[in-house]
Structure 1
């Protein structure tokens, strides 16, 4: 008898559940779904396997959306998602759907309510404080740090000259971590000298665990996750990262307090802070209101967000750029000639006035970001029905997968050669013909990443320093379409860790003398 009652109750619950969502089902039926979609589970079975398999499935969904006029729907069990690749539709989505999807809860467990991932109610206040901290006038002062760390990076790479292929990833990730720690907190973590830095190892591992949790449904419930061995490792890494950051914040609070006391005793005419480089932590404390502003926990959330996002974003983007240059040596030679025009044969460090002159290098970097965006997908909640410019309606309660990968490869906006590696598509006269929403490597709209210029400056400094000293060598690509195997690991990364070889650059004046003598 109890069994029958249970079945009846279950059936009634399903009927009521579906009745309440009848509008969602109706609107969803008007938009095509992928061929792989199955009853009940939807597309859940396609998001299994290793991180390369999952990335391949997400790419296939993006290409299906391109073929279906910019959008497809997909059920993930009972949750409805739309994959959108049309920049005109996405312009509206990114301006009106500001709430992040529930899947972000797993990364919030690491960094809390940092501005990038915070709920809208928290994000609005944090954003007002964060944006001024990333103003070009402030960010350009960090080029000195980028140059110092890039020089160290280039010296560390010297041991791999003429020694065959090796992975660039550990070198690039430690370069960006050192740069981020110095600029964000004023701390010399020296990860380049110590690649086994506990913070770096914990950060890399906990991001792996988060990615694993996002794509494996049985790891998502907190009560169930605690039964798996990954939970113990997750908490250990979290403790290491939080304790280190908390110590830095406490020390910074004391420094600021001491400085204020010194000023109050006699330094009335000059603001000493104007004569030194401020870190983001300095700025966050000051802009939030000093002692009455951010709490230590709020500061930790923002600093960890900057660290996690800033480290991997710049490292991944630089890795793809160097990989592409190894595959297309003619493009690399154009970059090198531009570097000679700016620096000559000098080995002086990069200064901020050099970066605007590196126009071709910037085009190469942007084309790399277009084809291989570090963050290929972002997800937003639809809280109210939205009618898109294309006429399709997204129902409340669904989610939008903003496929940056798909937007960047949509031939409707980029042309039939959208898959080609062509840095000159970013020439002003050509790029001005492209819809502005077609290029969004750091998202778009009110919740875009404010650190775009920071990342680009870090990239250009590192790339220019490396390429002045070394030629990056790889297997030459025979077509204009670069083939690089990728995986999803929170960010999109190269499967082999950006394997390349290096040879030392011979300055043009020396190579010319050699050629003349040989004749």
Structure 2
């Protein structure tokens, strides 16, 4: 192309008409814009009027700047890492001010508390859970975690028996068996590259354990412990949390129109198909036991007690309680898998990671295990559990700093006076479990240090029994605490007497996706205690 061609100007097509806008159209557009603006302003003022009393009652508490309609929700836009950084930030403000923190999610008031005494008062007086739990009810229906108070009260008294001290003792053979299987799997990792213990082994180990002890399902490798099931299970949790972080997806009618809801339904279908199969199989086994007049709950087989499982209790309840439907029983199956597998696996993972970056703590724990078991590789027995005091200290210290569930919510149905504020009727109380575990007001100036020895001090141990909020607190606290601690001790004994662990957990980065999970600095290395095998 030459310069003459570059300088050529093409004539304007005479047939093209110049765009013209009728002044009346401009006036109409301006009218609708002004009307829309007026409606938005009126709605904003109306919603503020509805919350004026609540705002006045919490005006002395620290909060973030609020935006119209969404409140402080803009702080949580993003992924789970951003949500964790927000948790850290508001926890630091609470620690500095020594007061609860207020969050406005839309026009809903959330009062964030970390004081254990106030947390206990709230959870004992308010049993109902807020609408956020409805996001999970599409999956868990009226299971123990999500059930309205009347249904929860009706069921919990009978179901708590499934995790009593005597029942946990009966579970020890399964705990030992699964812990030994995990220990054998770890042999493949000896002196290899760092790996993700949670994703590769722990999630499946705890899933198998929960299914065997709570559901009586022993052949789980083909039905539950599959990659498809685990992916669907994690997919549900991620979708629930991503919806919680997006205020525009909170209305049910809106969420059902999104691709996320379609994916949610697919994941729930995979998980519930498994629950359905477990339920049908166990119901058939119980019917066959009745026909042959065998008591499958109390008889002994091969010297081992056949205990009554969580699912057995549910099925027996359903025979006389017709409100306990098939759907509800399946929801309880999914609830117990969620509560047992997800939280316990996450907790054990943090314990190994902290031991890996604290060789002095790891050595003390190994020394205690040697004192209790000597050179024997025998199973953990009931009487061993109470002797593993430093092991218990390691567990509690890890759970203090790394709670698998960083917070729980309760709905206030009336004004309620705490020592720091008055909780207004209609507000949601958020128990900041993470913040409580990191508070110098509660644990002293060394609160951020990992020191299992603090739990060996009788004063701290007695205080910690109520100050540690990891298992929640109050009337709707976790019913599986004994179960979880016994399983953790058993896993640690079997693995620690064979291997040393190395990690860089002091550089760990975290995120929230229902549970508190690591995203970096969470890889583990395994070394033999008796040299390279």
- TM-score by length of structure 2 reads 0.87
Q: 1:104 aligns with which of 133, 136, 139?
A: 133
Equivalent position of 1:153 in the other structure: 182
CA RMSD of aligned residues (A): 2.6
Residue equivalent to 1:413: 442
Counterpart pick for 2:530 among 488, 506, 519: 506
Partner Cα separation in structure 2 for residue 498 and residue 113 of structure 1: 35
Distance 1:474 1:90 in 2: 34
- Rounded to whole Å, the distance in 2 between the matches of 1:286 and 1:42 is 48
Please give the secondary structure, in 2, of the residue aligned with 1:110: helix
Q: Secondary structure at the match of 1:380?
A: strand
Counterparts of 1:11-50 in structure 2, within 5 Å, are: 12-34=42-64, 37-38=66-67, 40-50=69-79
TM-score (norm 1): 0.89
In the TM superposition, 1:259-274 aligns within 5 A as 259-263=289-293, 272=299
Cα distance in 2 for residues equivalent to 1:88 and 1:355: 29
Q: Unaligned 5+ residue runs, structure 1?
A: 511-519
Structure 1 segment 79-478 matched on structure 2, within 5 A: 79-170=108-199, 171-191=201-221, 196-263=226-293, 272=299, 275-287=305-317, 289=319, 294-390=324-420, 392-432=421-461, 434=463, 436-475=465-504
Gap runs ≥5 in structure 2: 1-27
The Cα shift of 1:325 comes to 0.4
Aligned length: 497
Helix, strand or coil at the partner of 1:472: strand
Larger radius of gyration: 2
Quote the Cα distance in structure 2 between the aligned partners of 1:440 and 1:434. Answer: 12
CA offset digits 1:107-162 (Å, max 9, x no partner)? 11111111122111211112112212211111221111111111111111111100
| Counterparts of residues 49-64 of structure 1 (less than 5 Å) | 49-64=78-93
Distance apart, 1:322 and its partner CA: 0.4
User: For 1:59, what is the secondary structure of its paired residue?
Assistant: helix
Cα deviation code 1:64-120 (max 9, x no counterpart)? 122222311121222211111112222211111211121111111111111122111
- Give secondary structure in 2 for the equivalent of 1:31: coil
Question: In the alignment, is the contact (CA less than 8 A) between 1:147 and 1:351 conserved in 2?
Answer: no
Q: Distance in 1 between matches of 2:103 and 2:122?
A: 17
Following superposition, the deviation at residue 41 of structure 1 comes to 3.4
Compared CA separation, residues 79 and 20, structure 1 to 2 (3 A): closer
1:517 is matched with which residue? Answer: none
SS in 2 for 1:354: helix
Alpha-carbon distance between aligned partners in 1 of 2:156 and 2:298, rounded to the nearest angstrom: 26
- Is the Cα–Cα contact under 8 Å of residues 385 and 395 in structure 1 kept in the other structure? yes
Other-structure match for 2:12: none
- Give distance in 2, aligned partners of 1:287 and 1:130: 9
Conserved 8 A contact 1:167-1:497: no
Q: In the TM superposition, what is the alpha-carbon distance from 1:284 to its structure 2 partner?
A: 2.3
Find the residue that maps to 2:434 and give its secondary structure.
helix
| Cα 1:190–1:351 shift into 2, 3 Å | farther
User: Contact 1:327/1:473 (CA < 8 Å) preserved in 2?
Assistant: yes
C-alpha spacing 1:194/1:58, structure 2 compared with 1 (3 Å): same
The C-alpha deviation readout for 1:182-232, integer Å capped at 9, x for no partner, is 112121354599964322221122111211111122333333333433322
Q: CA deviation at 1:368?
A: 0.3
Distance in 2, Cα, partners of 1:225 & 1:119 = 22
Pair 428,116 (structure 1): closer, same or farther in 2 beyond 3 Å: farther
Which SS does the other structure have where 1:494 is aligned?
Answer: strand
